[in-house]
Structure 1
Amino acid sequence: SMIFGFFSALIIYININFFIFTFICIFSTNFRKFICNFCLVIIFKIFLRKIKIFYS
């Protein structure tokens, strides 16, 4: 249950960061928005890969 609590806290933390990132992206230029979204996709893919390793 401790691992589940940590995992849910991590998801909440990432969701907050994701919201902040998207908020910044919306109010920045198109070029910055593109870079930001590109970086978010990479971060999200790395995160999903780590989850797969963690649960395998």
Structure 2
Amino acid sequence: MRHTLTLSPSKARVAAYKAMAFAALHANSSLSVRLARYNAHMTKARSLLGGAQ
């Protein structure tokens, strides 16, 4: 796995949003809240990628 500092700023941001999305799934919240947070972070990550994923 690459170190985050070696990525370009936009790829680092995408990686951060994906990490936040997966962390949201494991949070101590209701399922609907976890899913909403996951979807919000993944939407931001996909928008940074230009919808390629």
TM-score if structure 2 supplies the norm length?
0.48
Decide which structure has greater helix share: 1
TM-score if structure 1 supplies the norm length?
0.47
Q: Which has the higher contact order (CA 8 A, sep 6+)?
A: 2
